[in-house]
Structures are given as C-alpha cells and as structure tokens.
Structure 1
Amino acid sequence: MGQSDEMAAFLRIIDRGGFAAAARGSPLTPSALSKLVQRLEARLGVRLLTRTTRRIALTAEGETYVARARDILAMIEAAEAEVTAARGRPRGHLRVNTGTAYARQRLIPILPAFFERYPDITLDLALTDRRVDLLEDGADVVLRTGALEDSSLVARKIADGRRVICAAPAYLARRGAPQRPEDLLRHDCIVLHGLARLTAWPFRSATGIVTLLVRGPLTTDSAEALRDMALTGLGIIRVSEFLVRDAIRDGRLLPLLEAYHASEEVPVWALTAPGRHRMPRIQAFIDFVAAQAGE
C-alpha cells in the first residue's frame, strides 16, 4: 500500500468516526485499519489518534496530518481529472456545509436534479448557522451568505441578494408600522445572536448612511426561526430576501421602511480549500448550484 493509499484509509477512519465504520464497504477489516494506523504512527514517530472503547480523536499532530493529507489527495485527484476529463463524469463523496435557511430554501429543492445529473456523486450535507472552520470540520465546500472572513480560502460568488425589513400584518395591527427608522427603537426587533453587525441596521439619511442599533425581547441562532417568529407576529426582522420572498409575495409579511433602508449586497459564496476547487466533484457541485439556486 502506497502513501496516498494510507492517507486515504486514514481519512476514511476519521470521516467515518471509527475503524468498524471505515471498514464497511472497504476491502480492509477493522483490525487491518487499526494496524495501518499503528504502522503509520511508528513511521512518523508521533501519535495521530487517541483511542477509547467508544471513540477516536485526533491529536494535534493528527489534525495537521489530516489537513495536509486532504490537500495532497485533492491535488492528486485534480491532476488525474485534468488528464482524464474527457473520459468520464465526476464521482466520489462530497461533504458540504451550509446554513439552514439557504439549504432549505435553495439547496435541498435542487438536489434531485443534481443527483439525476451526477449519479456517481454522494453527498453529506451538514447544516449549521455558526461559522465553521472548513478544514477542521472536514468539509469540501462551505456555502455562506454575507461578508467573507477568511481570505485564505478559494471563494466563488454564486449569487447576489439583498436584505429586507419586514413584519407580519398581525404585529403591525397591534403595534403600528414604523414610519421612520428611529421608530424602530420603540418596536420589538428580532435578531440573530452572536452576530453584532446584524443588530446595526443601516439607513439612508441626509448626511449619508447611519446605523441604528435595534433590540427586542427575542434572539435566536437560526435565520429560519427568525422568519417563523416574524410570521407569528412576534416582531420585526431584517433578513436575506430569499428567506422571506414567498411570505412577502403572499402578504404574510410586509416590507417596511423601504424608502430609508440601505440594503447592502448579500452575496452567497462557495468556499473551498486551496487546490480542492479543481476537483471534478467539487467543481460540478458549485457550477450546478450557481446555475440552479443562485438567484
């Protein structure tokens, strides 16, 4: 077994969460995989894994090895793909991480068409609204909206959008509609906690753009929960338009302060580690999402 095969086997153990799970569908038994790791650790002279009866965990050296192994295998795959591009179609396992709102509103609805076009690609979809470390979480692609924070990643913009301020008719009937931005200080505004920039709502004024710090009785870590709270009449929200487009069209939510609201661009980004963006399955996925769900 060559070094690249050892790397692939080691990554399979980590991605599957253990030797028994990694052995399923593999020609290697759990015992053989365990011995492979022992030989690898002996050759490197470091411990890569800590083992208990229930779980395995990476050491600091193991985390470094995993990150480098992923990069090396990605470059090998990309090199082979460029040489054999005309002979086949993308295949392999793809790990994607994205926010819950984008997944449910834009990504999941197009997955049947994606699998119809690419039947040899399998997908592990992780949903979270927290910021993730792409390499640490083992993701191949991270889809995120808004400003980028990590410039070391390869980023491709797959969609443009904007934010909208809105509330349910029931809330407005009870509390009245804000006529000017400063009226929001007397209203219940629901925001995502942990993202201070999303509590500073921008508005146009005679002197330029000013921000208003809003607050209310509720915060949440889910953009979809934010929308659902607004739909029940709990308060006013400011979210990406794609999340509330249908509700506004149906009259279940009403846009507010459109003459004052300075709605900045809210791009949707596909983020990959350097070198991996050329992998056929990753490139195929990003191209497909950009074409089908990038509105």
Structure 2
Amino acid sequence: MLGSLPHAAQLVAAGLAASVLVALLIVPDRAAACAPELSDAGLGGITGDTPFDRDAIARAVPGCTVERQAGSSEGASVDILVIRNGPTPVALVFPDWTGGIFSVLVQSQALRRAGGPTLGMRFGGVFEAAAPPFCVPGVEDSSGRVLCPARVGGRLAYVFEGDWQGPDGMLPSPEVLSDWTLVAFLWRPTPFEDPRWVDVAGFDPGEGPALAARVRATVDDPPGLAKLVLYPIVLRASAGGKDEVLEIPDAGAFAAEYGRRLTQAFVSAVRDEPADKVHIDDNGAALAAGRVWIAPVCATEECVEHRSGVIAVTMF
C-alpha cells in the first residue's frame, strides 16, 4: 500500500547514499565484457556472503574493474567501491558497519536482468498489475526520489525519480508517481525489513536484520559471536540446578564463558527460528524467544550516534 512510513528518511539515506556520486553513473554506457546480471540474489557473483573487499568483488564481476573511491553522504565521509565497464561506472557498492556489503546501487544499462522492468520504464508500467509493497520518499541527499521494494521480503528495490513540489519526507500521490521514471536498482544482502526494526526497535534501515543474520551465523562460534557483543553484557545460564547471572566485561571472557555453556539445542533454537518470527519491541529484538537480545545502544548522551549489537544472552 502506498503511503509514508516513519523514519523513511533514514531508509532512503542509507540505501541511496550514492546521490553525491550519481553523476558518475549517467554517462553513456559502452559495450564491453562487463555485463553482470542483476537479480534478487545479487549482482553477478556478489551475494550476501561477499565481503566489502575490492578483490573479492572484482572476482564476483569478471570483465569489470573495481576501484575504491571516497565519497560523502549528508556530510559524512564514506568509502565506496565503484564497479566499472571500462571507464563507465556500472554500480556503486556501499559498506555496512561490520565490513560486509550494505547495498549496491546500479544505474547502468550495461547490466543484464533476469526478467522484470528495465531502466527508463514509468512507475505505472512497473507496478501496473498491483500496488508496490511499500514505497519510501527520499529526503536531503535523496530528495526527489522514491524507493520501492520489488516485492515483500525481497532484496531488490526500484528507485524512481520525477517532478513533484511537495515537502521532503512526503510520498507523492499514486497519480503523480505513475509518471515517474525508473532510474536505478538498489540491491541489499538482507531483505527489505519489517518497518518495526526501524520504527519500534530503533535500528538503522537494514541494520537489524543484518545483525540478526550474523548472530545466527556465529551462534556456534564463541569468538565470532563475541565480536558482535556490546560490553559489559549479562549472560544468564544454569549450572547444577542453579541459575547464574554473570556480568561479562570483554570478548575474551565472553568467548570462554559462553563456550563452556554452549549446547546444540541452544544453537538450533537461535539458528532455526524463521526471520519473520523474531520478537521486536522498543527494547530491541529477541531472537529465539529471548535467548539472544540485540539492540541499538546510544553512543552519546544526546544519542546522535548509536552502536548495535548483542546486549544479553540467556542459555537456560
């Protein structure tokens, strides 16, 4: 259903941070061997497991060149990787806070598509058969653009641009949007999430589901999970029929204490929980009925910035 969403500015700013670099992507494309296919699974060989690493991304898009470039978004510095077809940029790759890929912005006809709309189509043609799952208006750097996931729970979104004189943060009416142009594709390793991750729990867009996925991946790896923890942390467990409540000061202590108590039942409970069954409230997100809590925590008293991670573990 079309409509404005709370924190829409955060979603678009995070997903479309390339606005200061978009001029790179609107030069004419030239035929070359660099023509990766874009789908919900990723761009070429770029998937959710691909690190934000120039060499790894270059191997994933054979025929293309990849170079690091400094940019900015809303006044903040950000390093990106530019995928090029010869001298022509094909895509911009943005990092997340863990060293992985946060998003890939594609605004080039050089790519191949496994079906679906193509750049230059009108909004009314892309969503002719049914309304989009939800659309988000751009503000500040992304003002004048609208982001619409291709489908609920998908990793691919369409970026539209058009004329409208309304205020920042307000979604144009369906009548206005119908004539807007598809100018880019946005892919993320994690599905476009339930809005509660942002609106209720307070994560940045994409941050909560990405963190949850990393917790599931490392739940049986004490040193790996320890890297995702915000210290000090409370670890609750049972020993000899008695409940223990341990305050863990650092990663080394966490890996040791967590590793001693780790069971396959605990791993399975966290790892096998469907993503859409995670409990989300204003305290954060509780994985596997509260066995692992993750949340964004203010880094300053004013809470201008935050850090997100594991804040509590219960191993009963």
Measured against the shorter chain, the TM-score band is: under 0.3
Larger relative strand fraction: 2
* Structure-2-length-normalised TM-score: 0.22
Larger relative helix fraction: 1
Larger radius of gyration: 1
Higher RCO by CA contacts (8 Å cutoff, separation 6 or greater) = 1
